[in-house]
């Protein structure tokens, strides 16, 4: 059960209805605040550290109001269960390339804007460029054609990358359309801001489920440093972390190992 207590959350609800309408049918949504008769239950206090829900079984109350934040862990749900709720689309993807038997699409998520303002780690240009070189070398050329699509909030930065990347494009679709595009076309995803929720979902919902990301352990991320993010709980199994070989002396990007 979800309580929608203000305009901000109502807007989020409408966006979800447009994006995953059938998913909302699985829940009861109530306009209003949580009744005072329902007590808060402490669960998942850290944004990105999994907590086993079975610890809630012993509570005798009819309703539990969980006071956790974000619940950002792949361990809480199954990928296939989420994918089946994504709606289809008639959008021709604004002239972006489409994945096929002969076309391979790499999707790169860029998050800068407010992350730079609030000192949340983001990749610089060298990391993005060298990560793509490393990925190309590792993955080879699996199909006849290969394309790169950039998604993000800094169009000037992405335009600079596009100008230096062969057969590349910059998405100007809505966030919801970007995620649907990823489901249908992104054979591979590179996440360049490791704490970006949107980048995480772009990778998680992607067609190829082949995801590379900047290794958050080699950044100055406040959540990771403060123990609020466990990489093993946050990044799904099989995702490949990347780092500089030896920053700032060697800007070659290499796979990082847990």
- Flag the least confident range among 86-100, 120-134, 160-174, 217-231: 86-100
| pLDDT (0 to 100) of residue 18 | 81
| pLDDT (0 to 100) of residue 90 | 61
CB atoms within 10 A of CB 57: 6
Residue range 99-108: average pLDDT? 96
pLDDT tens-digit series, residues 112-155? 999 999 999 999 999 999 999 999 999 998 899 999 999 999 99
Distance CA 177, CA 138 (A): 29
Distance CA 218, CA 211 (A): 18
Residue 162, pLDDT above cutoff 70: yes
Alpha helices in the chain (DSSP H): 7-19, 21-24, 79-83, 113-117, 125-139, 155-163, 175-185, 197-204, 222-225, 231-234
pLDDT tens-digit series, residues 31-59? 888 998 998 999 999 999 999 999 999 88
Half-sphere exposure of 105 (CA within 13 A, CB side): 25
Give the pLDDT band of residue 5 (cuts 50, 70, 90). confident
Residue range 233-238: average pLDDT? 98
Supply the pTM of this predicted model. 0.94
Distance CA 150, CA 172 (A): 9
Residue range 183-200: average pLDDT? 97
Give the distance from CA 56 to its chain's centroid.
Answer: 28
Residue 89, pLDDT above cutoff 70: no
Distance CA 216, CA 115 (A): 14
| pLDDT (0 to 100) of residue 87 | 80
Write down the domain spans for the chain. 2-83, 93-255
DSSP 245: E
Give the pLDDT band of residue 91 (cuts 50, 70, 90). low
Mean pLDDT, the chain, whole residue set: 93
Alpha carbon dihedral 241, 247, 253, 256, in 10-degree steps, equals: -30
| pLDDT (0 to 100) of residue 17 | 85
In this structure, are residues 67 and 42 in contact, taking their beta carbons and an 8 Å threshold? yes
Record the tokens describing residue 78, joined without a space: 């199954």
Record the tokens describing residue 37, joined without a space: 């008769």
Contacts of 142 (CB under 8 A, 6+ apart): 104, 187
CATH topology of domain 93-255: Rossmann fold (3.40.50)
């Amino acid at each position: 059960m979800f309580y929608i207590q203000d305009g901000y959350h109502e807007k989020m609800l409408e966006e979800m209805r447009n994006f995953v309408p059938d998913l909302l049918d699985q829940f009861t949504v109530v306009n209003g605040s949580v009744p005072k008769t329902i007590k808060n239950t402490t669960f998942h206090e850290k944004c990105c550290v999994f907590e086993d829900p079975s610890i809630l079984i012993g509570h005798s109350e009819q309703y539990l109001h969980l006071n956790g934040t974000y619940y950002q862990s792949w361990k809480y749900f199954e990928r296939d269960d989420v994918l089946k709720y994504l709606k289809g689309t008639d959008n021709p993807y604004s002239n972006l390339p489409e994945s096929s038997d002969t076309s391979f699409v790499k999707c790169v998520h860029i998050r800068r804007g407010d992350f730079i303002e609030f000192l949340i780690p983001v990749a610089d240009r060298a990391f993005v460029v060298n990560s793509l070189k490393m990925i190309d070398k590792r993955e080879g050329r699996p199909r006849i054609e290969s394309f790169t699509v950039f998604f993000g909030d800094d169009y000037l930065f992405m335009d600079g990358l596009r100008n230096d990347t062969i057969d590349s494009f910059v998405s100007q679709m809505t966030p919801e359309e970007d995620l649907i595009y990823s489901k249908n076309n992104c054979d591979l995803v590179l996440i360049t801001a490791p704490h970006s929720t949107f980048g995480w979902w772009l990778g998680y919902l992607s067609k190829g489920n082949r995801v590379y990301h900047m290794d958050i352990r080699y950044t100055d991320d406040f959540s990771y440093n403060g123990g609020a993010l466990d990489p093993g709980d946050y990044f799904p199994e099989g995702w490949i972390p990347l780092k500089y070989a030896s920053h700032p002396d060697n800007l070659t990007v290499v796979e990082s190992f847990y």
